[in-house]
Amino acid sequence: MGDFLRRRGASEQAIRYLLLGFEDDAALDYIRDASNHRQLSRIKGGNDLLPRAFASQLSEVIHYGCAIERIAQQAGGVRIAYRRAGMLDQLDADACICTIPFSVLRGIAVTPDWSPAKRKVIDGTYYGPVERITYQVRRRYWESQGLNGFGTSDKNFEVWHPTHGAPGTRGLLQAYVYEAYAAELDRLSDTDRTERAIADMDEVHPGLRDELETVVAKSWANDPWQKGAYIVYRAGDHKWYPDICRPDGRVWFAGEHASAWPGWMQGALTSGIAAARAVDADRG
């Protein structure tokens, strides 16, 4: 995408500002993702109502706190070995729908190994580093300046205001940090990361330090169950999409990475539905 803009005369400063660190992102991927921003929706009452709804219907079959250690395919089925509370156990099934991010899946043992095409995409897909930093303030002071709280910083992060339109005076700001700058923050200690994050937001919304109550930072790259926020297609990587989605033996794949909407909830949902239907069809 950086090359695409350079050929059209954009300056390096403009590219840095426009792309938020995604200079190496495939132009096709960037344009596709930008088109998804035309209309954004959220679940009234909070997006966590979605997993809570699943849990309320499936509480008898969900196993929490299970770390997968091996996926073994055998005649007519799949055996999953997992560790829970330090104890190793296993589960046998006719088929498996695997939603584990490839950034994590590449470190899980499988027997026999994935097909060469599947192994290539599991090992080769790139997951972008993201930091999301939330600032709680005692009052939404920027509103007195006629600002809505949203914006973009030339340090490669978006500024969000999750309490926009909410009652009361206390508020939240959020820095959504991408790519190289997110990776830089990931390498800092908790104390240094917090101080850097406060300084960054204080530049965007001066006066933050005077109103700040607390700061919480979430790193997807440092999360052992995620190791990156979402799949990002670099130039030439879109050719891998069919192999990302294709089943391998008795294992089907779902998740945002196996969908036409990488990085988005609807991608995870639609791919999960498609995989479940495919397994049902395979079983006759």
Task: Read off the CATH number of the domain in which 193 is found.
Answer: 3.90.660.10
The pairing of beta strand 66-74 with beta strand 109-111: parallel
Q: Are residues 143 and 168 in the same domain?
A: yes
Does 184 map to a domain? yes
Residue 21 has pLDDT above 80, yes or no: no
| Least confident among 65-69, 78-82, 152-156, 182-186 | 152-156
pLDDT (0 to 100) of residue 37: 65
The better pLDDT of the pair 173, 42 is held by 173
Phi, psi of 39, deg, nearest 5: -145, 115
pTM for the full model?
0.86
Domain harbouring 254, CATH code? 3.50.50.60
Q: Are residues 121 and 183 in the same domain?
A: no
Q: Are residues 265 and 149 in the same domain?
A: no
Q: Give residue 38's pLDDT band: very low, low, confident or very high (50, 70, 90).
A: low
pLDDT (0 to 100) of residue 32: 73
CB atoms within 10 A of CB 194: 17
Q: Are residues 141 and 275 in the same domain?
A: no
Does 102 map to a domain? yes
What are residue 232's DSSP bridge partners?
A: 126
pLDDT (0 to 100) of residue 154: 80
Does 146 map to a domain? yes
> Tokens at residue 200, please?
């960054």
For residue 212, the enclosing domain spans 129-219
The better pLDDT of the pair 191, 75 is held by 191
Q: Are residues 151 and 178 in the same domain?
A: yes
